[in-house]
Structure 1
Amino acid sequence: YRRLVGKLNYLTITRPDISFAISVVSQFKSAPRTLHWQAILQIIRYLKRAPGQGHLHISGYSDPDASEVAGYSDANWAGCPINRCYCVFLGGNLVSWKSKKQLIVSRSNVEAENQAMANVSGELQWIRMLLAEIGLPMQRSSILHCDNSAMHIASNPVFHERTKHIEVDCHFVREKVKCGNIQLVHTRSEEQLADIFTKPIRSARISYLCNKLGLFDMYA
């Protein structure tokens, strides 16, 4: 079981669509049961449906926004209070993604969204610094697509009792917004690309998000 989980985890480098499933089955490596083994087999069956599918980077953009760095953050507090995820695009190509547990447990959906937003803000900042280091500095703000309530708190300079415990995350995001490195944009749930890293979703939704993430089947 552990060996197979490790191999599937390595496969997420080119198959980000299974990241959430792998993060779930990885939690039971110490004492797996029959149910967990069946879940592993279900993941393998899903992969066998399209063995040629994978992450494809597309070059040759003529769009002036081709060099734009954009991120999506999401959290499924109702489903899992400590699971956060994000994905980052550079020039329309998916370059970074993560689905993992946080070190602390959130007490509300807003707190969960803010922690996820702080995580992707750090990743966006790192990518901007990397591009600047290799001589490709970003002239425009990076777009961060997030939840409406989280965006409101990050943009609001006044804290109150209910948000004191998330001050550090909010201050970090607010600082990046204030200096112009990040621009917060509200995104509807239907257009939230980070959904696939956060929770189990239906097959039609998976196909839609895979297409948006740049996953293509070379045999199709």
Structure 2
Amino acid sequence: MIVQIYVDDIIFGSTCNKMCEEFRQLMTAEFEMSAMGELQCFLGLQVRQLQNGTFIHQGKYAKELLKKFDMDDCKPCSTPIATNKLVMSEEKDDLVDQTLYRNMIGSLLYLTASRPDIMFATCVCARSQSAPRKSNLIAVKRIFRYLKGAPTLGIWYPADGKIELSGFSDSDFAGCDKTRKSTSGGCQVLGNCLVSWQSKKQAAVSTSTVEAEYIAAASCIAQLLWLQNQLLDFGITALKTPLMLDSQAAENIIKNPVSHSTTKHIDIRHHFVRDCYEKGLISLHHVPTKDQLADVLTKALDTSTFESLISRIGMLNME
């Protein structure tokens, strides 16, 4: 039996229906609470349980956002961020309402709990919250236009998935037009199920593509180690977790314990990836760029590539 508690919300499940009923009676006898029956909604996430798997989405919340920000009649678009121009603001653009802009960003960030497809676009737009301009607002509205076309897109978790942990790591070198900092992207997969994802601007400027990929790998491995510890609670040992990289040079740096002159300037905290590799906690695997799932979290993609990747990470539209 598994019980998940978040503040005053509880979900529980078991392979034995009798145990679930006993737990429900125990909790309702001790606390003032009501049992809602089979899980359909939790913390804003809508859940559809089927025989062959579970579908999680935030369709209701997405539609409410479109109505809240007067975007329910907008023209849909196929991707959340344009590939032909940067999102960063132009100094000549007029400033826009900061409160409105931050409200839109905050609402979208909550939506990323089930929408990795808008994670990168939302994080890029969030970088301009201090002084948003018209070009920034146009970029945010494009995300809403994308949601208009696919409000009920969510993540599919098949029931017959294997319990095999793996990670995908990627970076976009010098993607920030103002600071020239790179973006780290990572996603962690359990069997065929996407369980966590990250998209974050790196803290320091990388001087090469290899350095950016190496730092992104460190971030992804940190998440994989956390997931390994979580799986231990379920009696699952996930050593030699595969890490998928599309940079051969980054793989060589991780495998080679010698401190190259080209890596001496990299912050020492990132070098723990070598230690993880030597201890057998992870294993390195090269993957072609076209098969790098983390690409969707690091850069703007064309429509065909974008749709292919979000399909491969398990995103479906069930309605």
**Contact 1:89 1:96 survives alignment (8 Å):** yes
Q: 2:266 aligns with which of 146, 151, 166?
A: 166
Q: 1:77 aligns with which of 173, 190, 207?
A: 173
Paired residue for 1:97? 197
Q: 2:142 aligns with which of 13, 34, 42?
A: 42
Q: Please list the CA deviations of residues 153-187 of structure 1 after superposition, one character each: whole Å capped at 9, or x if unmatched.
A: 11012222111123735641121111211000011
Report the aligned-residue RMSD: 1.4
More off after superposition, 52-61 vs 189-198: 52-61
Q: What letter corresponds to residue 111 of structure 1 in structure 2?
A: E
Aligned length: 214
Greater share of residues in helix:
1
Q: Please list the CA deviations of residues 58-106 of structure 1 after superposition, one character each: whole Å capped at 9, or x if unmatched.
A: 2223xxxx11111111111142333111110012111111101122221
- Corresponding position: 1:113 with 2:209: no
Q: 2:304 aligns with which of 193, 204, 211?
A: 204
Paired residue for 2:243? 144
Determine the C-alpha separation between the residues in 2 that align with 1:10 and 1:183. 33
Paired residue for 2:24? none
Determine the C-alpha separation between the residues in 2 that align with 1:135 and 1:120. 23
Choose between structure 1 and 2 for higher RCO, CA contacts under 8 A separated by at least 6 residues.
Answer: 1
More off after superposition, 77-86 vs 6-15: 77-86
Q: Give 1 or 2 for the bigger CA radius of gyration.
A: 2
- Corresponding position: 1:68 with 2:164: yes
Paired residue for 2:151? 51
Q: Please list the CA deviations of residues 87-144 of structure 1 after superposition, one character each: whole Å capped at 9, or x if unmatched.
A: 1001211111110112222111111110001111111111111111332222x42100
Paired residue for 2:103? 3
Identity of aligned residues (%): 40
Q: Please list the CA deviations of residues 7-44 of structure 1 after superposition, one character each: whole Å capped at 9, or x if unmatched.
A: 11111111100001001110111211111111111111
Secondary structure of the corresponding residue to residue 104 of structure 1:
coil
**Contact 2:185 2:200 survives alignment (8 Å):** yes
Q: What letter corresponds to residue 75 of structure 1 in structure 2?
A: S
- Corresponding position: 1:30 with 2:130: yes
Determine the C-alpha separation between the residues in 2 that align with 1:111 and 1:167. 10
Determine the C-alpha separation between the residues in 1 that align with 2:268 and 2:192. 30
Paired residue for 1:186? 286
Determine the C-alpha separation between the residues in 2 that align with 1:76 and 1:39. 19
**Contact 1:153 1:170 survives alignment (8 Å):** no
Paired residue for 1:156? 256
Secondary structure of the corresponding residue to residue 19 of structure 1:
helix
- Corresponding position: 1:86 with 2:183: no
More off after superposition, 164-173 vs 33-42: 164-173
Determine the C-alpha separation between the residues in 2 that align with 1:23 and 1:185. 28
**Contact 1:114 1:169 survives alignment (8 Å):** no
